[in-house]
Amino acid sequence: MILESIENFAKLFLEEIKNPIHIISHFDTDGITSAAILCKTLERLNKQFSIKIIKQLTQTEIDLFPKEKTIILLDLGSGSIDLLALKNKIFIIDHHEINKNIPFNVSIINPHLLEEYEELCTAELTYLFSKSISKENKNLSHLAIIGMIGDTMEKEINKTRDKIIKEADVKIKCGLLIYPSTRPLDKTLEYSSRPFIPGVTGDSKGTFELLKEAGIEKTNKNFKTLIDLTEEEMKRLTTSIMLRLSSKEYKDYLGNLYLIKFFNKIEDAREISAIINACSRMGKSEISLMLCLGNLTARKKAERLYMKYRQHIISGLRFIEKNEKIQGRDYVIINAKDKIKDTLIGTLASIISFSQVYKEGTIIIAMAYDEDKIKISARLAGRNKSNQNLKEVIDSIACAIEGESGGHKRAAGCTIKKEYEDKFIELVKKKFEFEVVKI
């Protein structure tokens, strides 16, 4: 079913290919890997194109579409489909939720539009599209795997995904889902934000204590990597980490490690995905893209940026811990202003929501400046089901102050003008204090 609709889409695309092509892709790992697959596909067709990587498809971005070009949107567009009835021919490959009124100028692949829904990320869809154009593109399957891991979809292996995994020659190893699994363990643990290990994350002394307790010692100059541990060592390390996490949380971090070939070396797909995401969030999406395209210089730059990114995350967490927050009964507002990058605030809000800093169900609202705007990320602490729908909450507040918002039940976000900073905080307080009274 999905393959049939992809083949039809590819046919339409090949008919359009004589026109100049402009690719617009989302800046996260799924968007970047999708863009890399499409770039390679067009290159192999000897087709020239231009490309832009963006954080969000706003009206301003839509107004900037080059008028004379065919547009292809990757990992974007479904949420803004109503705004895309334009003169341009537009192709969309995306997996986000969508309303069903598709404008005439738009051709789209989105699993939500099919009768039989199968969960696939944009990189997987782009890979299937690319493979339907030429079998030669089968060697791009590792990028589909990295995109899928980036969108944390590896726990649901459906028929199509299973086939892609086989095509990508992935090696799967059962163990702790802490990454990177191919770097020395002391660094892996100290920088681990998922899980956030109390007394270990961000604490080198605590990390050494944990390794000592697990009986893991340095071999030569460094500690072993996770994938090099013996079964016995893996068991001891798992126990030591388990003692520091809640049993519910712990279960989430046991599973399969996906090992792929990247730059001719076996790598943890999680790690590569994290590097791509980090470069983009540090404002260097072009490096992420070049890395996916196999550029060696980009690889070196990406490693350095990744290091910097992890330091930013750790110092962001420290900043949040030490600075004043607006604390209500069931919510907390963290207003980082210009002290944390807008592209990192969502990641930090997620890390805090997974840690045990706030009680289950607390609404975490984190804010950071983005030039004349404010980026806001909302998350629900813990992992239990809650009746709270963050998307509805954020939509209702953003809509009162001309903000652009979206997301889903447990993770939502919006962008507002800076002049509405106080008003936004006031509306959040009103909303939740009113809800408390209502209860």
Given the rule CB under 6 A, which residues bind ligand C5P? 56, 346, 377, 404-408, 411-415
- Minimum CB distance to ligand C5P, residue 79 (Å): 6
Nearer Cβ to ligand C5P (110/377): 377
Nearer Cβ to ligand C5P (97/162): 97
Nearer Cβ to ligand C5P (15/419): 419
Nearer Cβ to ligand C5P (287/414): 414
Nearer Cβ to ligand C5P (210/351): 351
Kindly report the length of the chain.
439
Name the residue among 232, 238, 222, 237 with its Cα closest to residue 186.
Answer: 222
304 and 278 Cβ atoms separated by less than 8 Å:
no
- Minimum CB distance to ligand C5P, residue 435 (Å): 21
- Minimum CB distance to ligand C5P, residue 368 (Å): 10
- Minimum CB distance to ligand C5P, residue 298 (Å): 25
Q: Cβ contacts of residue 111 below 8 Å, gap of 6+?
A: 2, 95, 117, 118, 119, 120, 125
Nearer Cβ to ligand C5P (22/95): 95
The Cα 243–Cα 344 span in angstroms is 29
Q: Please give the span between the terminal C-alpha atoms of the chain, in angstroms, as a whole number.
A: 47
Q: Cβ contacts of residue 298 below 8 Å, gap of 6+?
A: 287, 290, 291
Which residues does residue 370 pair with via DSSP β-bridges, in sequence order? 373
- Minimum CB distance to ligand C5P, residue 313 (Å): 14
- Minimum CB distance to ligand C5P, residue 407 (Å): 3
- Minimum CB distance to ligand C5P, residue 405 (Å): 5
- Minimum CB distance to ligand C5P, residue 151 (Å): 11
Nearer Cβ to ligand C5P (206/406): 406
The Cα 242–Cα 213 span in angstroms is 12
- Minimum CB distance to ligand C5P, residue 377 (Å): 3
Nearer Cβ to ligand C5P (120/398): 398
Name the residue among 112, 87, 104, 91 with its Cα closest to residue 11.
Answer: 91
Q: What is the Cα 38 distance to its own chain's centre?
A: 19
Nearer Cβ to ligand C5P (288/415): 415
Which residues does residue 53 pair with via DSSP β-bridges, in sequence order? 25
CA 355 → CA 246, 308, 364, distances in Å? 10, 22, 12
Residue whose CB is nearest to ligand C5P in the complex, by number: 406
- Minimum CB distance to ligand C5P, residue 173 (Å): 29
Nearer Cβ to ligand C5P (262/331): 331
